[in-house]
């Protein structure tokens, strides 16, 4: 994992906790590339295995875990659910597991006893054949171009016959298949032909009982918690029973009859389920030697997941898909498979247990594709997102995950258009680790966001600050003044601003604090904003102190922050309105660039605590941010008393967007490496951006919800940054606006 991927990891996961991911900005993708960043491994649907382990460690039972991941389900005994005459209940070895496909020959070895052979059309009468593989002997079954023959040491054994045969054994014996490196103690091998001369081949399957099959499933580390293993066993059993019924479309006749598989499944494998991860990994006897797994299978024997909607089940039993992990929320079957109909039990559910990169190695991933490859794939597809672009001009996230959608914009003959592409198609087309794309890098634009303001602040922090910061600031996420006052101080002291709820630390914040390992933590605001309980919880995330900087009001708190972070004799102090926050949002990076505090004042007066702090600071100059509606001319005049022979200046524009531009112009010149962009009408997503921008030496500009103001566009062209960080998800700053920002970069 490279530095930037590790950084994005701590973000993405922190970002997606519903969902969460290590920092220091790395190189953006090369020109002509798009980097997809996401989380989770696999299709993301159903039971998340890492999530199940996390739930088990948190004390949930196997049944609770299983039903959590499949909405609206219950756990019942299969014998109570299926009709009494269902083949899965009436046959001793009802389930056929596909082991080998399209073979001309295969080897098998008897272990612990002799084997019995049976072959159709061999002229030897009733089974078994007259020849018997003895314990330790390696035999083969081969198609010679016209018939099939059992062989031992290169010599034919018994009469040749049809390519329909079976191999069985008594209890205590097992058969080894060298091609698989596996052996099987239960069931019997079934060899069945596929195709016709001259291209005839055969498939090899294992007919086995359901519980013997579950004991051989190898889909989860046996060292994991018992409850996680039990949830896995329930899901695996449900999946197998549902798939067996789905794929057996005809009737069986007689006690030894072949399954009534459809012609498709006979051609495919002569099986109900394949031995590999295409269905479920089945390793037979080898897995049966894992006592913890066998205990889980035994404890849950017969248990299946059921759902009342019969339109989406097989006799009530659900298709219990499972995946290694998700990005912090599981995927829907629409988002993971591209299904046209949503299954009621395959909805998206909370999976935050799987989103910690310290726990799940696939919590975050990154994959780069060239624009040439993307253009080629879009041209080749016959899906609704087919596009004949000559040039790719934009790539932006529209929504999700779950059901992530990326909008590609391009030119065709000079005409611009766009197509929306689902994550499942991106996964299959570009080899992504999962369909759960969380963000993209294209043309230097990167989105920092999470499921909520807490996750977004964590994402911004992880994108900007390395582990081992000297301090992390914690502010109330519901009320903005304290976080804004803390921004300049945090940047000056080298740490981020993270957000919390009053009474509980959000998961995303805890994950980011675990990564940051701050030497100390500072809470800004009183216990009415951040409770004593949260203060106590924060002690677990630093080896230093957890201090609280607060006053009786937002103005008092602003003054206390300044007192603790900035020495007297400041060359400049920034002041801005404490009731309208857009100017403060844009002002934090400018104040940080000057190493200056940012103080909050009333529009029509200077609060006493601020006056006292100005006297202590004794600045050479004061900069007022915002127009006279934000901070009156009278207040500007009163501020002159605190600068001695210095001056009081004002940076203000015709509106908040223009003011942000003028603030940027006052401190940042052309060639600025990075610019932060936030929505100008809603502030939570931008709260962490001020400290990040100040730390990175980058301005923060504001955009509208659906457009880039002309003044902002002009300022971006003047600055000519190499990168733009977009603060907030596609529901705040839409994909089209992200694409427009991409097109403004040099």
745 or 253, which is more confident: 745
Average pLDDT value for the chain: 94
pLDDT at residue 248 greater than cutoff 50? yes
pLDDT at residue 675 greater than cutoff 60? yes
pLDDT at residue 3 greater than cutoff 70? no
Q: What is the pLDDT of residues 469-524, one digit of tens each?
A: 999 999 999 988 999 999 999 999 999 999 999 999 999 999 999 999 999 999 99
Sheet with 415-422, strands from edge to edge, namely 391-399, 405-412, 415-422
Q: What is the pLDDT of residues 544-562, one digit of tens each?
A: 999 999 999 999 999 999 9
Mean pLDDT of 721-741: 95
Tell me the residue length of the chain: 746
Percent of the chain residues past pLDDT 70, beyond the cut? 95
Which pLDDT value is given to residue 684?
A: 84
Q: What residues contact residue 17 under an 8 Å CB cut-off, 6+ apart?
A: 328, 352, 355, 450, 451, 455, 506, 507, 508, 511
- Rounded to two decimals, what is the model's pTM? 0.87
Mean pLDDT of 518-542: 98
Angstrom distance (rounded) from CA 326 to CA 309: 26
Q: What is the pLDDT of residues 274-311, one digit of tens each?
A: 999 999 999 999 999 999 999 999 999 999 999 999 99
412 or 400, which is more confident: 412
Which pLDDT value is given to residue 728?
A: 94
Mean pLDDT of 359-376: 95
pLDDT at residue 694 greater than cutoff 60? yes
DSSP class of residue 247?
Answer: H
User: By C-alpha distance, which of 451, 449, 506, 494 is closest to 686?
Assistant: 449
Mean pLDDT of 453-459: 94
Mean pLDDT of 681-702: 92
pLDDT at residue 22 greater than cutoff 70? no
Angstrom distance (rounded) from CA 240 to CA 238: 6
* Residue 88 vs residues 220, 248, 264, 280: alpha-carbon distances, Å: 25, 10, 20, 18
Q: What is the pLDDT of residues 124-159, one digit of tens each?
A: 999 999 999 999 999 999 999 999 999 999 999 999
Q: What residues contact residue 464 under an 8 Å CB cut-off, 6+ apart?
A: 23, 25, 496, 692, 695, 696
Angstrom distance (rounded) from CA 190 to CA 187: 10
pLDDT at residue 238 greater than cutoff 90? yes
- Min mean pLDDT across 131-135, 168-172, 344-348, 703-707 is at 703-707
Which pLDDT value is given to residue 29?
A: 57
Strand boundaries in 127-278, DSSP class E: 138-143, 148-152, 155-156, 165-169, 174-177, 182-184, 188-194, 201-208, 273-274
332 within 8 A of 348, measured Cβ to Cβ: yes
> Which helix (H) or strand (E) covers residue 661, if one does?
helix 656-667
Which pLDDT value is given to residue 404?
A: 97
pLDDT at residue 6 greater than cutoff 80? no
Which pLDDT value is given to residue 30?
A: 55
Which pLDDT value is given to residue 12?
A: 39
Q: What is the pLDDT of residues 28-48, one digit of tens each?
A: 455 689 999 999 999 999 999
Q: How confident is the model at residue 229 (pLDDT cuts 50, 70, 90)?
A: very high
- The maximal CA–CA distance of the chain, rounded, in angstroms, is 116
């Amino acid at each position: 994992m490279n530095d930037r991927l590790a950084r994005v990891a701590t973000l993405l996961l922190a970002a997606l906790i519903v969902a969460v991911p290590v920092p220091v900005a790395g190189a953006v993708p090369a020109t002509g590339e798009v980097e997809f960043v996401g989380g989770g491994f696999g299709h993301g649907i159903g039971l998340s295995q890492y999530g199940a382990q996390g739930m088990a460690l948190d004390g949930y039972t196997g049944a609770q875990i299983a039903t959590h991941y499949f909405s609206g389900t219950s756990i019942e005994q299969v014998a109570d659910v299926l009709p009494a005459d269902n083949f899965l209940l009436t046959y001793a070895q009802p389930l056929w597991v596909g082991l080998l496909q399209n073979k001309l020959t295969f080897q098998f070895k008897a272990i612990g006893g002799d084997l019995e052979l049976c072959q159709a059309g061999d002229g030897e009468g009733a089974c078994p054949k007259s020849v018997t593989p003895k314990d330790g002997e390696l035999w083969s079954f081969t198609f010679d171009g016209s018939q099939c023959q059992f062989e031992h040491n290169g010599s034919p054994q018994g009469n040749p016959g049809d390519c329909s045969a079976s191999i069985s054994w008594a209890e205590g014996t097992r058969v080894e298949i060298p091609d698989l490196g596996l052996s099987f103690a239960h069931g019997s091998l079934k060899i069945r032909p596929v195709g016709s001369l001259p291209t005839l081949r055969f498939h090899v399957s294992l007919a086995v009982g359901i519980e013997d099959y579950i004991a051989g499933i190898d889909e989860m580390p046996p060292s994991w918690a018992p409850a996680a293993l039990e949830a896995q066993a329930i899901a695996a059993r449900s999946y197998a029973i549902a798939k067996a019924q789905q794929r057996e479309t005809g009737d069986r006749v007689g006690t030894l009859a072949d399954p009534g598989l459809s012609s498709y499944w006979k051609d495919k494998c002569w099986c109900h389920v394949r031995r590999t991860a295409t269905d479920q990994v089945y390793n037979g006897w080898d897995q049966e030697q894992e006592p913890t797994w066998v205990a889980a299978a035994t404890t849950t024997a017969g248990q299946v997941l059921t759902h009342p909607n019969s339109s989406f089940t097989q006799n009530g039993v659900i298709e219990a898909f499972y995946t290694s992990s998700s990005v912090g929320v599981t995927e829907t079957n629409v988002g993971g498979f591209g299904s046209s109909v949503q299954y009621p039990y395959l909805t998206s559910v909370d999976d935050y247990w799987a989103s910690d990169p310290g726990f799940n190695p696939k919590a975050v991933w990154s994959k780069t594709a060239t624009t040439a490859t993307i253009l080629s794939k879009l041209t080749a597809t016959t899906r609704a997102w087919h596009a004949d672009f000559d040039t790719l001009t934009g790539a932006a996230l529209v929504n999700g995950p779950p059901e992530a959608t990326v909008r590609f914009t391009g030119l065709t003959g000079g005409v611009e258009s766009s197509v929306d592409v689902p994550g499942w198609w991106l996964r299959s087309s570009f080899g992504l680790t999962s369909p759960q794309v969380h963000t993209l890098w294209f043309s230097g634009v990167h989105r920092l966001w999470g499921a909520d303001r807490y996750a977004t602040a964590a994402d911004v922090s992880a994108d900007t600050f390395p582990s081992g910061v000297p301090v992390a600031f914690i502010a109330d996420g519901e009320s903005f003044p304290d976080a804004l006052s803390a921004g300049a101080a945090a940047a000056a002291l080298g740490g981020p601003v993270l957000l919390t709820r009053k009474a509980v630390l959000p998961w995303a914040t805890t994950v980011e604090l675990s990564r940051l390992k701050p030497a100390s933590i500072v809470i800004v605001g009183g216990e009415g904003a951040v409770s004593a309980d949260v203060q106590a919880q924060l002690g677990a995330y630093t080896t230093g102190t957890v201090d609280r900087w607060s006053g009786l009001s937002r103005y008092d708190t602003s003054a206390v922050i300044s007192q603790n972070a900035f020495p007297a004799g400041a060359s400049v102090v920034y002041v801005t309105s404490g009731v309208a926050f857009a100017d403060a949002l844009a002002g934090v990076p400018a104040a940080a660039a000057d190493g200056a505090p940012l103080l909050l004042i009333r529009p029509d007066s200077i609060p006493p605590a601020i006056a006292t702090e100005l006297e202590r600071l004794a600045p050479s100059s004061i900069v007022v941010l915002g127009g006279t509606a934000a901070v009156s001319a009278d207040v500007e005049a009163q501020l002159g008393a605190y600068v001695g022979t210095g001056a009081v200046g004002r940076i203000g524009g015709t509106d908040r967007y223009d003011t942000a531009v003028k603030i940027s112009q006052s401190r940042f010149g052309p060639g600025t490496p990075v610019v932060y962009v936030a929505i100008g009408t809603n502030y939570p997503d931008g709260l962490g951006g001020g400290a990040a921008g100040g730390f990175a030496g980058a301005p923060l500009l504001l955009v509208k919800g659906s457009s880039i103001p002309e003044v902002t566009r002009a300022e971006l062209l003047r600055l000519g940054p190499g990168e733009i960080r977009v603060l907030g998800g596609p529901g705040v700053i839409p994909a089209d606006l992200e694409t427009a920002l991409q097109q403004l970069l040099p």
